[in-house]
């Protein structure tokens, strides 16, 4: 029999998150690999979803999202960033940010179009681009500063460029793109008439300063698809409630894909999402405060143990160089950490197209209970600095 997997998908294998989580379970390792909290989301959000189930909201929702949820998303953008979106025509509720990213790429790209990605990238970007028959053009972010070469970015834009995907705060590096960097990306988008797909799922996890949505920059609202979700902000990664906010022509492109990908998203969870988005400022402050303390604890301990810890300005990930332990390959080191030390981490080289990039550090997720982080550190004590 011929191989059953299509050529389009054959190169991707299993996502590293599923693979490392499986390996962590097999070896009883503390899972600092996959970015999901090991604590639950807030009761006021869960209660709203439970009430919706009990009230009989068990049928398909509108394909574009529950009317109340589209309105709640629009008012959050207005309140948080002064960005006005029409709830009915400019907001689409999706199954997590992941679906919104996929829909956006399928919606705007034709076969042979090019899409600029920053590597290391969240792995669904590349898969989405390739499934659309488009071609990724990568620009590399390198530690410790994670800045990009402006010349390399300009060179990645050309006559076939259809879109760029920007993720700030950035997974896996913890980088927050500076105002200058965002302005440079915006300038190139305008100059080359390119759609900007921004993945802002960590918008509420910045440790200094405030998040700047790409759509707020001059000339960008009309060419940006702003994507976010409940997952990281409300510690509800399993709910898969996300959205895309964009001007009408771009929203129509997203919806053209969305109607055939999932059609609609879990109705009771959308009711829960309405409650989540009405949270007051105190909720977001507490979230940041809690994560800042976890970041500082883990960063301090990793440094003490001999890791070279890179700055993390946003997200709940820390990247750390491991050359002190005599390894020179992130995949080998991640396996060793999981199997022999009992702590799982992510090897970032899998988020690169360019061979050899991302091999010198690993990513730890600190979205875990304090006791989980303490247990991970206790196990990491077994690492020996090679001299």
Ligand X SMILES: Cc1ncc(COP(=O)(O)O)c(C=O)c1O
Binding site for ligand X (CB under 6 A): 35, 96-98, 122, 167, 171, 199, 201, 229, 231, 237, 240, 242
* Rounded distance between C-alpha atoms, residue 333 and residue 257, angstroms: 39
Closest-by-Cβ residue to ligand X is: 96
Tokens of 331: 């995949």
386 burial level (CB within 10 Å; 0-12, 13-18, 19+): exposed
In the bound complex, what is the minimum distance in angstroms from residue 387's beta carbon to ligand X?
A: 36
Sheet harboring 308-309: ordered strands across? 308-309, 317-321, 361-365
Minimum CB–partner distance for residue 151 and ligand X (Å): 26
Conformational region of residue 364, where left means phi above 0, alpha means psi within -120 to 50, and beta covers everything else: beta
Closer residue to ligand X in complex, CB, 126/341: 126
Among residues 70 and 167, whose Cβ is nearest to ligand X? 167
- Please state the closest distance from residue 9 (CB atom) to ligand X, in A: 19
How many Å apart are CA 331 and CA 341, to the nearest integer?
15
When the beta carbons of 199 and 301 are compared against ligand X, the nearer one is 199
Structure tokens at 209: 């300063």
Nearer to ligand X, 141 or 383 (CB): 141
Q: Cβ of 26: how many Cβ atoms within 10 Å?
A: 10
Q: Is 230 helix (H, G, I), strand (E, B) or coil?
A: coil
Q: Cβ closer to ligand X: 234 or 322?
A: 234
d(CA 35, CA 237): 9
The DSSP output letter for 60 is P
Report, in Å, the least distance between residue 125 CB and ligand X: 8
Alpha-carbon Rg for the chain, nearest whole angstrom, is 21
Q: Is the peptide bond before 169 cis (omega within 30 degrees of 0)?
A: yes
Both tokens assigned to 215: 């759509």
Measure CA 22 to chain center.
21
Q: Which is nearer to ligand X, 301 or 334 (CB)?
A: 334
For residue 230, give the nearest of 266, 290, 277 by alpha carbon. Answer: 277
Pairing between strand 114-119 and 135-140? Answer: parallel
Decide whether 95 or 372 has the Cβ nearer to ligand X.
95
Per the listing, tokens 């300005």 go with: 313
The pairing of beta strand 241-245 with beta strand 195-199: unpaired
Q: Which residues pair with 138 in a beta bridge?
A: 117
Closer Cβ to ligand X, 262 or 360, answer by number: 262
Euclidean distance between CA atoms 73 and 81, whole angstroms? 12
Nearest to ligand X of 100, 302 (CB atom):
100
When the beta carbons of 254 and 383 are compared against ligand X, the nearer one is: 254
């Amino acid at each position: 029999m011929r191989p059953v997997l299509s050529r389009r998908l054959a190169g991707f294998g299993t996502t590293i998150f599923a693979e490392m989580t499986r390996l962590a379970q097999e070896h009883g390792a503390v899972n600092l690999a996959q970015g999901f909290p090991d604590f639950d989301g807030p009761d006021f959000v869960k209660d709203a979803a439970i009430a919706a189930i009990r009230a009989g909201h068990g049928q398909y929702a509108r394909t574009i999202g529950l009317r109340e949820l589209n309105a709640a998303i629009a008012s959050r953008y207005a309140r948080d960033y002064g960005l006005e979106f029409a709830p009915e025509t400019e907001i689409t509720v999706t199954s997590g940010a992941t679906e919104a990213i996929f829909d956006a790429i399928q919606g705007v790209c034709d076969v042979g179009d090019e899409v600029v990605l920053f590597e290391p990238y969240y792995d669904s970007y590349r898969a989405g681009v390739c499934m659309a028959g488009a071609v990724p053009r990568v620009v590399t972010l390198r530690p410790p500063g994670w800045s990009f070469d402006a010349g390399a970015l300009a060179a990645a834009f050309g006559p076939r460029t259809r879109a760029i995907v920007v993720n700030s705060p950035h997974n896996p590096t913890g980088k927050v793109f500076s105002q200058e960097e965002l302005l440079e990306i915006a300038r190139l988008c305008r100059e080359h008439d390119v759609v900007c797909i921004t993945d802002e799922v960590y918008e509420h996890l910045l440790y200094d300063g405030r998040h700047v949505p790409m759509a707020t920059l001059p000339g960008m609202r009309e060419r940006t698809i702003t994507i976010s979700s409940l997952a990281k902000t409300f510690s509800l990664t399993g709910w898969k409630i996300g959205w895309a906010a964009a001007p009408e022509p771009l929203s129509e492109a997203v919806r053209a894909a969305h109607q055939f990908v999932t059609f609609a998203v879990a109705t009771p969870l959308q009711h829960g999402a309405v409650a989540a988005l009405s949270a007051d400022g105190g909720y977001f402050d507490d979230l940041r405060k809690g994560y800042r303390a976890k970041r500082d604890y883990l960063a301090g301990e990793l440094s003490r143990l001999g890791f070279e810890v890179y700055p993390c300005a946003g997200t709940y990930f820390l990247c750390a160089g491991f050359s002190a332990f005599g390894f020179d390959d992130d995949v080998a080191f991640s396996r060793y950490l999981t199997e022999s030390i009992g702590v799982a981490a992510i090897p970032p080289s899998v988020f690169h197209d360019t061979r050899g990039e991302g091999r010198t550090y690993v990513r730890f997720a600190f979205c875990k209970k304090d006791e989980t982080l303490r247990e991970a550190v206790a196990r990491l004590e077994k690492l020996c600095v090679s001299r």
